[in-house]
Amino acid sequence: MRQFNVFVEHEDSWKLFGTFKAEDGETALKLARSSKIELLNMFEEEELPFVNLEYMEVPYR
């Protein structure tokens, strides 16, 4: 498993949404999208399919 920081675009800026352990970045994005309760704290339910998410791998130290 690798770690990924997932960022969400909210009010015209990118914010760290969370760190997810996953096999790849796309899986990390799926995990972030499944965090519906946290997303609803930032967006209306109708907006959820259109939320912009990006990931960046976190290197292990």
The DSSP-derived string for the chain is: -EEEEEEEEETTEEEEEEEEEESSHHHHHHHHHT-HHHHHTTS-GGGGGG--EEEEEEPP-
β-bridge pairing 53-58 and 2-10: antiparallel
Q: What residue spans define the domains of the chain?
A: 2-58
Quote the mean pLDDT of the chain: 95
pLDDT surpassing 70 at residue 59 = yes
Half-sphere exposure for 16 (CA within 13 Å, toward CB) = 8
pTM of the predicted model, to two decimals?
0.90
Distance (Å, whole) CA 47 – CA 57: 26
